[in-house]
Structure 1
């Protein structure tokens, strides 16, 4: 890497918490056949919300974790999708928006047979202290369920709810998952726009047409987003994280510089997009539930699956506009 990756997200368990999905029947048949109950908005719940979340993800307008709950990330994803579709960006799904979304008629919940790689591990808890993280040879998943949830862009709670009684620890077991893998890849990106007020990162093609939108965390009072126009300098998948406590206002005074091995639970997740603003970048996270809801140490933080999608589409040298 050209220089050390050195900005870490701020984890906030209280901020990241959101209410679990209500105890309604979310069977594959019910979700795959769900119809718009008139308007899907903040008071909506159940099968229609879950179907819409998966369809938005498939359209590259991410809600972050697919969890079956209508929250701020879903509202923003709907508005972005409506803008791309030429509809009024209301943040709620009316008939016209539903008809556009459901033109993708695939089942949104499908079955998946666990593979050896899904359950092979090794799985171990990830320590909170940087010095303890540095002792690990890889920052892998703490459990097979965590890895499967990320693979299918879901909250672990929803994955468990869709698979009652399933341990998800043996190859060959069949489970129900969100159908998010067989989608068309993104077109080549011509410009990135990060909106601080809306907690979104948007991708535009060479013709300046919106092609994708992801929820992001974008800094804090102590480490504000560096407003301005920068460029993508280079991209790194499975990055090493070089921790420098001098760059963190809340670092433990006893901390020392250290190297954190790659892995999905690395502090910057599975990919790093380096910007021409020194020490700043776009990256993944070990805490997907907090994206769009918690703060960061100044960088732009996405879920691991969204940043993995982004790096396949983004070339070096394009503009990155960070705006209020």
Structure 2
């Protein structure tokens, strides 16, 4: 299936909340992290074990924080707000003792586990991805650029966090035991059933999944349109789901830095401009899709489309079907 979609531009700001002073980062400190009785500002470049645990627990409960990185940020605050509201707490986005208790009730599984790197994780082929779209069109596949990127995406992690948890370890060598986020310890999708409706909340930069009773099933951070190419309003429908989509660039888009005057096509892969999955909506050239830059989701604007992390859009694609309503909320 050929996909025509908009690209990602711009940056929106982050906000932070108060946490405990940083401590040693390893499997034990994250799995045993407690709600901080003494609080202090989280420094910009420090990874907090309590935040890593919080993000993993939210991910497993399907209140996605986006990339698990151990840092404060808008995606984490929005995930906390959604969780608080669904659990009957004050939705202020703060990590406090009451929220911490509710989060830990969702799962008793450890936040981090050890994983042994397999041959298929490191055999490649890995690809140097050009910055320019025209040059990407010359590749046979937009695959991962390294084993580190593959592992980080599989476990919903930031590459820097993966490396910080595994200092001195060879992430490109089969047989290496590494510490990763235990994101697979979540209820099976089959138990959730199909989504009755999805809501794209523009101001909050989130996509919400509802069941037939109107109950919240999942929340994902999203990049949603821009002033230049605003997302639509109103209710539309899912037309189709395309895993591993091609991307077709239309010169009518006139993206900055793209000089092509004719349409061209970019092959599939996780680093394709629309990521690993495309969910087509009943709006011309508009859909919900993945991204080659998961760390920018919710923190950057797209040119009209709804952009999720690859793992979130893949999960969403299993919950929607042709005809599922998609409402854009201003």
Residue 108 of structure 2 corresponds to: 105
- SS of residue matched to 2:239: strand
Distance in 1, Cα, partners of 2:282 & 2:14: 33
Distance in 2, Cα, partners of 1:179 & 1:41: 27
The answer (yes or no) to whether the contact 2:198–2:208 under 8 Å persists in 1 is yes
| Residues 1-324 of structure 1 mapped to structure 2, 5 A cutoff | 1=1, 4-12=2-10, 24-38=23-37, 43=42, 46-103=48-105, 104-186=107-189, 187=192, 188-250=194-256, 252-324=258-330
Distance in 2, Cα, partners of 1:244 & 1:48: 45
TM-score, normalization by structure 2? 0.91
TM-score, normalization by structure 1? 0.93
The Cα of 1:99 is off from its aligned counterpart by: 1.4
Distance in 1, Cα, partners of 2:54 & 2:259: 46
- SS of residue matched to 1:314: coil
Instruction: Call closer, same or farther: CA 1:198–1:15 in 2, change over 3 Å.
Output: closer
- SS of residue matched to 2:114: strand
Instruction: Call closer, same or farther: CA 1:142–1:40 in 2, change over 3 Å.
Output: farther
Size of the alignment, in residue pairs? 319
Distance in 2, Cα, partners of 1:253 & 1:243: 11
Structure 1 unaligned regions, length at least 5: none
Deviates more, 1:257-266 or 1:98-107: 98-107
- SS of residue matched to 1:5: strand
The Cα of 1:37 is off from its aligned counterpart by: 1.1
Alignment root-mean-square deviation, CA: 2.3
Distance in 1, Cα, partners of 2:244 & 2:38: 41
Deviates more, 1:86-95 or 1:130-139: 86-95
Instruction: Call closer, same or farther: CA 1:15–1:88 in 2, change over 3 Å.
Output: closer
The answer (yes or no) to whether the contact 1:40–1:48 under 8 Å persists in 2 is no
Distance in 2, Cα, partners of 1:151 & 1:265: 14
Distance in 2, Cα, partners of 1:63 & 1:131: 32
The Cα of 1:65 is off from its aligned counterpart by: 0.6
